[in-house]
Every structure is written in structure tokens, then in C-alpha cells.
Amino acid sequence: MLTGAHFLLTYTCSFECDHCFIYCSPQAKGTFTLDQIKMVIEEFVKLGTIKRVYFEGGEPFLFYPLMVEGIRLVRDKGFEAGIVTNSYWATTDEDAELWLRPLCKLGISDLSISDDSFHSGDDEDNRARHALAAAERLGMPSGSISIERPRAEMSQDKEQVQGEPVVGGSTMFRGRAVEKLSEGLPTRFWQEFTECPYEDLREPKRVHLDPYGNVHLCQGLCAGNMWQTPLSELVKTYDCDTHPICRPLVEGGPALLATEYGVRHDDRYLDACHLCYTLRLALLDRFPEYLAPRQVYGL
């Protein structure tokens, strides 16, 4: 049952992080309009199962009035509202409070702030700390998201060879991370990746919605387009067993996806996401309805 929905309010971002799943940057295009947000919220009401709605991106604070109005509309319909931000706007504790006070009055349930070396560097006095301090003073529920840089470490998994080099850290090798962070890390044979370790593709509990209408089950892997088929209908008719990408991923992971479509590829990959992303990139032109938009594949 779908209970969470995330507006990718914009693909534009103040940063261009090496680990970004969807190739966000200051040059990236695509932002929701207010009319589109209103239309989607009405679809949430029709579904009757949505409980929490997030606004993220890209960087949603770049379109602050639109984000605030979207949150107001979400709260008026009785949904919980959350935000994910890189806190570029939190230049001091006092300034951060100015940005957050109107949101606090709307009743934000969660403010998630990126606080890691990709966003804030290693400086103790970073903007994420200002944002978190301001949120605490305002009584706004908040927390940090920290993505660790990938590193080589020894496997502790009994199903693998203990002591075998594996990739550690919390980076997932999708999007720009494949291009920027993969060099020199240990790889495994592609046949080992027989499951999707992160997403429940059979019965998704959340989706990400982008300004082009794509309903993401995972970044760049879509159930369909909500501008062509209303979101409530898309969700109610979604069937993993008839989805050309999700079915093989559920039945046998990226390894089965590679075999089923005869995709030519390398022998070794960093993780399941790395293989899956590489295969989907190769299948873009064959399944444009389900692998979109092209810009989240760096194209």
C-alpha cells in the first residue's frame, strides 16, 4: 500500500554532488508549477492511502514560495509534510531561523538536512549545523542525512568469502556516483547480484514524483507518467508482474534483467545498483516509458 509520496520539486540544485542519484546541478532543468502540485494533491486524496508527503529535489528551498504553498496545501488536506534540504540557505543560526519559522507554523513533521562531506565539507561550522540548531530552537522535528564516501573494506558476510574486498560506505552507485566515485573500488561478478536490496518493487510504499510527470519507483525507474495517466489510476493498476523492468528485478535481481534482455555488459560491478543502473542505461531507448527522464541517466 502506497503511504508516502515525494515531490522532486525541482531538479535544479545549488550543488553538483558526486554521489547524486539524479544528476542535479545548478544547470539541471525541471520544476513543478503550482497548478501541477494542486493536481497531484487531489490524486493523493483519491488514493486514500497517502499519509506523508515530502518536498525535495534538487533543492526545494530554491523555489521557496512554491515549496511553502505546496506544504500549506498538503497540510490543509490532512497529510503530514516533510522536507529534504542541503541547507545552503542557513548562513547563520539567526538567518536559518528566518527561513524555518514560516514552515514551523505550517506544522512540518520532519526536516531532513544533508550533513556530510559532499554537502558541507569537513568544517565544524557548516550550514547544516546552523539549520539543525535553528530547527531545535523552533521545536521543529529535524535530523541529518549523512552519506559516507565509498571505500574498500573487508567482507564480514558469511555468504561471501570473509575477508574478500567489498565496497563500504552508504553511497549507492546510481547516477553521477557511477561516473565520479567508482574508480579503484573492488568489484564482484555480475551473477552475484540476484536481488534488488533497497526498493520493494512488488508492493512499493513510496514513490518520487518529478515535474515531467514521471512516477519513480527508484530513481529513473518509473511506474508510468502521471500527466498521461492520473496518479491514482497508475498506482491502483500497477502490476509488478507485467512491468518489463520490475518483474525481472523482483524475480532475480539485476542479473536476471541482464540475462532476460541479452544486454552486453562487463563481468564485474561494484554493487547491485551499479549493475542495474548500467543495464537500464542500455535499455533506455527500448523502454522510454519506464526508464525516464533521460537526464537522470546523465543524458
Under the banding of pLDDT at 50, 70 and 90, the label for residue 171 is low
Q: Pick the residue with more confidence: 163 or 198?
A: 198
DSSP one-letter string for 82-96: EEEE--TT-SSHHHH
Which of helix, strand or coil describes residue 235?
A: helix
CB atoms within 10 A of CB 43: 18
The average pLDDT across 42-56 equals 98
* H or E segment and range at residue 166: strand 165-168
Q: What does the pLDDT read at residue 11?
A: 97
Eight-class DSSP state of 123: -
What confidence score (pLDDT) does residue 184 get?
76
Q: How far apart are CA 126 and CA 53, in angstroms?
A: 27
pLDDT for position 95: 96
Output the CATH code of domain 4-85+148-297: 3.20.20
Cell of 158: 558469511
For residue 190, what pLDDT is reported? Answer: 95
Confidence band for 298, pLDDT divided at 50, 70 and 90: very high
- pTM score of the predicted model: 0.89
Kindly tell me if the per-residue pLDDT of 168 is higher than 50: no
Q: For 231-285, how does the pLDDT look when each residue is reduced to its tens digit (9 = 90+)?
A: 999 999 999 999 999 999 999 999 999 999 999 999 999 999 999 999 999 999 9
Residue ranges per structural domain of the chain: 4-85+148-297
Residue 167 confidence (pLDDT)? 46
| Per-residue pLDDT, 117 | 54
* Residue 62 half-sphere exposure toward CB, CA atoms < 13 A: 23
Give the HSE-up count for residue 224: Cα atoms under 13 Å, Cβ half-sphere.
17
Q: Look at the chain and count its residues.
A: 299
Is the pLDDT at 154 greater than 50? The verdict is: no
* Model confidence at 3: pLDDT above 50: yes
